[in-house]
Amino acid sequence: MTPGSILVLKPGLLTSIQDLGRWGHQAAGVPVAGPMDAFSHRLANQLVANAAGAATLEITLMGPELAFDVDTTIAITGAHFDVWCDDRPVPMATSVPIAAGQRIRFGKRVQGARAYLGVAGGVQAPVVLGSRATHLVSGMGGHEGRALAAGDRVPILAGAGSGATRKAAGLVLPTGGRARVRVVPGPQADWFHADALRTVSGVSFRISPRSNRMGYRLEGPPLARVREGELISEPVGMGAIQVPGAGEPILLMADRQTAGGYPKIGHVISADLPLAGQLAPGEFVEFVTCTRQEAVAALIARERQLLRYSALRDVS
């Protein structure tokens, strides 16, 4: 493959380069970053015959306009947007050949919050500590550690991928700006009333405008503790539900810190994190308790979806 690039004509609201994250450096205080919806990121890569860890463009709420200077193949997954290649509609979750000189333009957002644009060979941003992922707070990775801006050139490789047109069903997106996600008890669940998680089951928490890729601040009934004080900081992961002293929960997301001292009442199960990643400020999340056995079964089912798509058929 020969080098090429994507020229950013319009950046959209927040478009960044993401791969599966910067793992293995949390002990040194280096955040993981990565996609808010890892399922859709991985599916975009499968559709263009990339490895799961190849870098994609994560597109948030308002999409970009992009010009390609080499022939390649793309796929767009996750949030459903109206998308055009020049004047031709681009189907979602389908591999699409792109010729040098063509433009991709995102229009109206129909459903979901974040889309992923995979390109054959992956986005070729510099590798920093083993990853191309953008961590916005620290300014690490991606394109100069920041969201893309008009005039940026994103390096890619020329090539048409597998040559077959591939299509998949994609993630079932939250409807009506509301997602129900399953949770298991967190390591400090005993800091709260014994039935605290059951109490919040079915309650709608609004995602505050103060939310971002680090975490969602959740507006709703406060979660009162039965134990005072703070923890010695300990490692945290994506999906942890931290509760500061005032009782307003925070759902940690992709750009989370590596450690924290707030007690964690629960943890969103891995299979449902993609659903949380498809929510935007002003939308709602509901928690439903489940067992660890149910969480494992749900993750196996989610992974089987990707396995079914790993040998995608030619639909051309």
Eight-class DSSP state of 209: T
Identify whether residues 148 and 105 lie together within a single domain: yes
Identify whether residues 91 and 148 lie together within a single domain: yes
Domain boundary among 157, 191, 221: 157
Q: Print the domain residue range for 139.
A: 3-157
Indicate which CATH number applies to the domain containing 231.
2.40.100.10
Assess if residue 164 is contained within a domain.
no
**Which pLDDT does position 315 carry in this prediction?**
47
Is the C-alpha dihedral spanning 156, 160, 161, 165 positive or negative? positive
**Which pLDDT does position 200 carry in this prediction?**
76
Helix (H, G, I), strand (E, B) or coil at 211: coil
Identify whether residues 140 and 63 lie together within a single domain: yes
**Which pLDDT does position 99 carry in this prediction?**
95
**Which pLDDT does position 162 carry in this prediction?**
56
**Which pLDDT does position 197 carry in this prediction?**
78
Identify whether residues 106 and 200 lie together within a single domain: no
Number of domains in the chain: 2
Each residue of 267-291: b (16+ CB within 10 Å) or e?
bbbbbbbbbbbbbbeebbbebeebe
Identify whether residues 86 and 126 lie together within a single domain: yes
**Which pLDDT does position 169 carry in this prediction?**
84
Q: Which residues of the chain have pLDDT under 50?
A: 314-316
Domain boundary among 108, 128, 157: 157
